[in-house]
Amino acid sequence: MSSIDITDVVSPRGAPQGSRTVLQRSMEFITRHRVAAVIALLVLLPWLVPYEALAVNILIFGLFAVGFNLLFGYTGLLSFGHAALFGSGSYGAGIAIVHFGWPWWLAIPAGVTLASLVGLVIGYLAIRSRGIYFSMVTLALAQCVYFAFYKAGRYTGGEDGLRGITVDVINVFGWRLDFLHPTTKYFVLLVFVAAALWFISRVLASPFGAVIEGIRENERRAAACGYDVAATKLIAFVISAAVCGLAGTLRALHLSTVPIESLHYLTSGHVVMMSLLGGMGTFFGPFVGAAFVLLIEEFATNFTKYWQLLVGLVFVVFVLFFPRGIWGSILHWLGRR
């Protein structure tokens, strides 16, 4: 846990002015306007990657990783069960559309609500334990969620996943958008991702953001300062669940189906890997990590059928030699100069 976002450092009279390079100054500018910087990059993303479906995936998994990182990087809780929240978001939105015939704009809050409720239950039970036990409890409870959705085949489609989430036209105040067009779809989803990023950024900059960092740094001290550690952790867990759930709902709209794998523990592992590779406890890190992992997988699957071996190798190299992750290492390197 050695990467800290520059913006988290409170400076009353501005940071001490020293001799700084143009690079450092522009990095400070980026971190100060971190939401705008991410959105600017995401607007360009469809033209930076080989094809648009990959851009949509980076968008969705980036948001998933940002939500996960709120708990992992900022609160210091390693959950191995975040697939349950991501998947609940997907299924919540999917079931609302397929079985209840709700419009897409109602399906999104439905998915987010379901994910938050699942997060409330998992969080409530898991925060009683610490460290590795916390991770194991989240993993076990997420498996329970997996089997519950697996068995409830009437609503979820069971093994085949939930199919038929068709949203082809999006009507925004009389303005009809063709949701089947990849670029249009990307930008519609981007609106939601941008809103969520703004929200997370505000939460991190708020006094609450300071408290969760305090808990990550030193739980006993935080309690001695008068903060209710258990309640704070639970709130952080639910906020994280809501954001990951939103990522899930967007994925359901994007794929038109919900594969049962979205609840699988490999999905939980995926998001841990993205956060670690990108740089946990930094605002940009999770997005960088999501893009990096998805691009590597894309490249490796074209290159060899043993692509997982390559991905695993990259992961091991990073954990051993760049434990701060890509973005965390960049920040650290710039901070030292």
Partner 1 sequence: MNSPILVAENIGVQFDAFTALKNVSVAFKARQLTAVIGPNGAGKSTFFNVVSGSLIPSTGRIRFNGQDITGAKQHEFARMGIAKSFQITNVFPQLTVGENVRLAAQMRRSRFGLLVPRQSMTDLIVLAESLLERVGLAKAFHLPARDLAHGQQRCLEIAMALACDPKLLLLDEPTAGMSPEETLDMMDLITRLAEERTVILVEHKMKLVMGICQRLIVLHHGELLAQGTPNDIRANYEVKRVYLGQKV
Q: Which residues sit at the interface with partner 1, rule CB under 8 A?
A: 1-2, 4, 8-12, 15-16, 199, 202-203, 205-211, 213-214, 217-218, 220-229
26-31's contacts with Cβ under 8 Å and 24+ in sequence apart are 27/331, 27/334, 31/5, 31/6, 31/7, 31/283
CB of 271 to partner 1, least distance (A): 23
8 Å CB contact between 15 and 336: no
Smaller CB separation from partner 1, 1 or 169: 1
CB of 2 to partner 1, least distance (A): 7
**E strand intervals along the chain:** 169-172, 175-178
Smaller CB separation from partner 1, 239 or 273: 239
Chain centroid, CA 164 distance in Å: 25
CB of 220 to partner 1, least distance (A): 6
The amino acid present at 83, given as its one-letter code, is A
What distance in Å separates the CA atoms of residue 38 and residue 193, rounded to the nearest whole number? 10
CB of 210 to partner 1, least distance (A): 5
CB of 67 to partner 1, least distance (A): 15
CB of 228 to partner 1, least distance (A): 5
Smaller CB separation from partner 1, 50 or 335: 335
Q: Which are the contacts of 193, defined by CB distance < 8 A and separation ≥ 6?
A: 42, 59, 60, 62, 63, 250
CB of 226 to partner 1, least distance (A): 3
Smaller CB separation from partner 1, 183 or 218: 218
CB of 39 to partner 1, least distance (A): 18
Smaller CB separation from partner 1, 225 or 309: 225
Chain centroid, CA 122 distance in Å: 17
Smaller CB separation from partner 1, 220 or 305: 220
Smaller CB separation from partner 1, 174 or 226: 226
Q: Which residue has the tokens 């991702």?
A: 193
The amino acid present at 290, given as its one-letter code, is A
Between 229-255 and 182-205, two packed helices, what is the crossing angle to 10 degrees?
170
Smaller CB separation from partner 1, 11 or 302: 11
Phi/psi zone of residue 177: left (φ > 0), alpha (ψ -120 to 50 degrees), beta?
beta
Q: Which residue has the tokens 């940009």?
A: 284
For residue 205, count CB atoms less than 10 angstroms from its CB and return exposed for 0-12, middle for 13-18, buried for 19 or more. middle
What distance in Å separates the CA atoms of residue 298 and residue 294, rounded to the nearest whole number? 6
